[in-house]
Chains A and B, each alone.
Chain A
Amino acid sequence: MQEQAIHWKSAANTRIPYRLYVDEATSALEQERIFRGNTWNYLCLEAELPDAGSYRATYAGSTPVVVVRDADGEIYSFENRCAHRGALIVLDKAGRADDFQCVYHAWSYNRQGDLTGVAFENGVKGQGGMPETFCKQEHGPRKLRVATFCGLVFGSFSEDVPDIEEYLGEEICARIERVLHKPVEVIGRFTQKLPNNWKLYVENVKDSYHASLLHMFFTTFELNRLSQRGGVIVDDTGGHHVSYSMIDPAAKDDSYRNQALRSDNERYRLKDPSLLAGFREYDDGITLQILSVFPGFVLQQIQNCLAVRQVLPKGIAATELNWTYIGYADDTPEQRKVRLKQLNLVGPAGFISMEDGAVGGFVQRGIAGATDMDAIVEMGGDHAGSSEGRATETSVRGFWKAYRQHMGQQAADA
C-alpha cells in the first residue's frame, strides 16, 4: 500500500490534497486507522433499543455491525459477520431477537455476540462434525466496546480509545447534554445516497462559512447569518465541533447587501409562515446548533428541528447519510407538529440542506484531473481553534488535524 501517495505541503491544514478524495489506498487505510481505529463510531440511539432483544444492524465505517440490548439491560455490539464463513449474521435492519443465527450454516450467537452453537457440531450418525479441538469460545465475530452518552450509542473496535466523555471533551459533552437532556423519540428515518467521498460531507457540516452563502433560505429568513451572534467551538483534538447562533433581528445589517450576494433577496417571503413559527425551548437563546463528533456523527438543532445524522463511507465516491429525526418523548401534539413542519428545512428535500446533498458531488466531479492539486482552506487563518466569528474554516482545519493524527500523516509528511 502506497501511503506516500498523499503529499501534504505543510504542517498546517490550509491546503488539502484532492487526492485524499479519490485514492483507493487512502480509503482502505481510513477503515483501519479511523473507523476501526481509536475512534468512537455512532451506532444508534438508545431509544431505538427499548427492550431486551431489541437490535439494529448498522455500520462502523464500512464494517457491518449489530447493536443489541441484552436481558441485563446492557447494550452490546459485534461485527455482523459469521465466524464460520463470513456471511452476515443479521439481515434485517432492526427487530427483536432472543439470539441470532446465520442463515448459511445455522451457526448461532447470543445477544452478546458469543458463538453458542455450531450446527451438526458432533456430525451426523457419528460421521463428520467439527474436530474435538474446536473451541467455540475462541471464535466469534469481533466485539466492539460500547459506550452511551445522553442516549447516543457509540461503538469502537479499539481497546485504546479513551472513555467516551474524555473522547468528546467537556465542551462537546455539555453541548450534547444541552439538546439530549431528556428522553427522545424517533419520528422518522431517511437515507440519502451522496455522490461523493464521505469527507466532503463531513467538511460541509463543519464549514460555517458556506451556510448562509449557499443556502438562501437561511439568510433570507434570518435563520443563520454570519453577522448573527454565535460562534464555533473546536475541541483540542480538532475532530469535534459545534457551530451555534442566535436569531437576532438586529443582525440584519448591510454586510450582505454590500457584497451584492445572490443569497440576500428581500422579495422572498413565505405565504405560510407557520413553517418557521417555532417555540422557545432552550434557555440560552441558541436557535441553531450543529455539532459533529469525529469521524462521522452530527447532532442538529435548527430551531425546534432535531435530528442525528450518521455519515457512512460507501466506497471512494459514495456516501450514505442516515437521518434520524427526533422529538422529545414528552412533546405535546402542537410541539410535535412544529417539528414535523420545520423538518422541511432539512433532509433530502430540505430548504436549507437540499444543496448539501449536491455540493459534495460538485467537488468530486470538479477535482477529476486535478488530483495533484490542493483545496484552499484558509478562511480565518491557519489555526484550528474555537472562534467567535463564523466566517472561518477553523473547524474544517480541525477535522484535518484529527484526520492526520489518526492516519499518521502529521507534519513529518510535509
Chain B
Amino acid sequence: MIDLLQLAAFNAAYAQAIDSDSLEQWPGFFTEDCHYRITHVENEAQGLPAGIVWADSRDMLSDRIAALREANIYERQRYRHLLGMPLVEAADEGTARARTPFVVVRTMHTGESDVFATGEYHDRFVRRDGRLLLAERVAVCDSTVTDTLLALPL
C-alpha cells in the first residue's frame, strides 16, 4: 500500500532536486512514458490541453534540462518549493492518485525573492521495481500570469 508518508517523502526529494540545482536528477522521478504539464486553473477548468511545458516522455524532460544547461539564456535564479500535505485520492499496492499544493519562491541573482508560483500538483504515481515514480504530474498554477519567463521546472 502506497501511503501518505511515502508520497510526502517522494515530494520532498523531488523539491530538493530542483531547489538544490540537481536538475539532472529531475527526470528520474518520472516513468519513461510519463506525462508532465505546467498549466493554470483557467485552462484546466476549460479543458484546454496546452501547457507552458508539455511532455509525454522522460526523455523530453531530460531534453529540457539539457536545453537549460546548454542552450537557453536566462538570468541565474533558484527556487524554494514549499509543498503541502498530499491529499491522497486513491492508493493501492502499486498506484496512487494525489493532489499536493505548492508554493514556489524564486530568488534572482540580484538577491530578490518573490512568490513565483502557487498551485497544485495533480499526480498519478506508480511503483516500478520497488520505487515510486510519477506516471503523471500536472502542475496547475493558480495564477494565469507568468513573470518574465519560466526556466526551471515546477
**Nearest B residue to A362 by beta-carbon distance?**
B75
Q: A349-B151, A354-B72 are known contacts. Are A192 and B63 too (CB-CB below 8 A)?
A: no
Q: Which residues of A contact B16 (CB under 8 A)?
A: none
CB-based contact B149/A191 at 8 Å: no
Contact residues of A with B, CB < 8 Å? Answer: 93, 186-195, 214, 216-217, 220, 265, 268, 270-272, 274-275, 320, 325, 336-337, 339-341, 343-344, 347-349, 351, 354-355, 357-358, 361
Q: Is the CB of A357 within 8 A of B149?
A: yes
Cβ of B58 to closest chain A Cβ, rounded Å: 8
Our pick among A189, A216, A341, A357 for the contact of B148 (Cβ within 8 Å) is A357
Q: Kindly state whether residue B71 has any CB partner on chain A within 8 Å.
A: yes
Within 8 Å CB of B151, what residues of A?
349, 354
Q: Is the Cβ of B38 less than 8 Å from the Cβ of A349?
A: yes
Known pairs A192-B148, A193-B148, A275-B63; A340 contacts B71 (CB<8 A): no
Minimum CB–CB distance for A327 against chain B, Å = 9
Q: In whole angstroms, how far apart are the Cα atoms of A206 and B63 in the complex?
A: 29
Q: Are A272 and B70 in contact (CB under 8 A)?
A: no
Determine if B51 and A340 form an interchain contact, defined as CB atoms under 8 angstroms apart. Answer: yes
In the docked arrangement, what's the CA distance between A192 and B143, Å? 11
Residue in A194, A271, A340 whose CB lies within 8 Å of B49: A340
Instruction: Report whether B72 and A271 are in contact in the complex, using a CB–CB cutoff of 8 Å.
Output: no
Question: Does any Cβ of A come within 8 Å of B100's Cβ?
Answer: no
Query: Considering only CB atoms, which chain A residue lies closest to B42 in the complex?
Result: A189
Q: Are B51 and A217 in contact (CB under 8 A)?
A: no
Q: Which residue of B lies closest to A344 (CB)?
A: B54
Identify the closest chain A residue to B57 (Cβ). Answer: A272
Q: Are A272 and B63 in contact (CB under 8 A)?
A: yes
Supposing A187-B50, A217-B67, A351-B67 touch, asked if A272 and B148 sit within 8 A by C-beta, the answer is no
- In the bound complex, how far is the Cα of B42 from the Cα of A354, in angstroms? 22
Q: Contacts of B40 on A, CB cut-off 8 Å?
A: 190
Residues of A within 8 A of B57 (CB): 272, 274
Which of A194, A341, A348, A349 is B56 in contact with, Cβ under 8 Å?
A341
Q: Which 9 A-B pairs have the closest CB atoms?
A: A188-B50, A272-B59, A271-B59, A348-B146, A357-B149, A216-B71, A349-B150, A191-B145, A188-B48
A325, chain B: closest CB distance, angstroms: 5
Minimum Cβ distance to chain B for residue A175 (Å): 24
Residue B53 is within 8 A (CB to CB) of chain A in the complex: yes
Q: Is the CB of B148 within 8 A of A361?
A: yes
Contacts of B146 in A (CB 8 A): 190-193, 348-349
A272-B60 contact given A188-B43, A190-B52, CB 8 Å threshold: yes
User: Given that A186-B48, A192-B145, A217-B67 are known contacts, is A349 also in contact with B43, CB under 8 Å in the complex?
Assistant: no
Q: How far is the CA of A271 from the CA of B60 in the complex (A)?
A: 7
Cα–Cα distance between A191 and B39 once the two chains are bound (Å):
11
6 more A-B residue pairs beyond the given contacts A268-B70, A341-B56, A348-B148, with a C-beta to C-beta distance below 8 A: A193-B145, A193-B146, A194-B148, A274-B60, A344-B64, A347-B52
Contact of B50 among A220, A270, A343 (CB under 8 A): A343
The reply to whether the CB of B107 lies closer than 8 angstroms to some CB of chain A is no
Residues in B neighbouring A349, C-beta threshold 8 A: 38, 52-53, 146, 149-151
Q: B144's closest neighbor in chain A, by CB?
A: A191
User: Does any Cβ of A come within 8 Å of B147's Cβ?
Assistant: yes
Q: Judging by beta carbons under 8 Å apart, are B150 and A271 in contact?
A: no
Across the interface, which residues of B come within 8 angstroms of A344, CB to CB? Answer: 53-55, 60, 64
A174 CB to nearest chain B CB (Å): 28
Chain A residues whose CB sits within 8 angstroms of the CB of B52 once the complex forms:
190, 347-349
The reply to whether A340 and B50 form a contact with Cβ atoms under 8 Å apart is yes
Q: How far is the CA of A371 from the CA of B52 in the complex (A)?
A: 35
Answer whether A189 and B144 are a contact pair too, CB < 8 Å, given A268-B71, A271-B62, A275-B60: yes
**Once the chains are docked, how many angstroms separate the CA of A176 from the CA of B145?**
27
Distance between Cα atoms of A348 and B42 in the complex (Å): 16
Residues from chain B with a CB closer than 8 A to the CB of A214 are: 73
Instruction: Kindly provide the distance from the CB of B71 to the nearest chain A CB, expressed in whole angstroms.
Output: 4
Q: Which residue of B lies closest to A336 (CB)?
A: B49
- In the bound complex, CA of A340 to CA of B53 (Å): 9
Chain B neighbourhood of A190, CB < 8 A: 40, 43, 50, 52, 144, 146
- The reply to whether B149 and A265 contact each other, CB–CB distance below 8 Å, is no
B55 contact set on A, CB distance < 8 A: 344
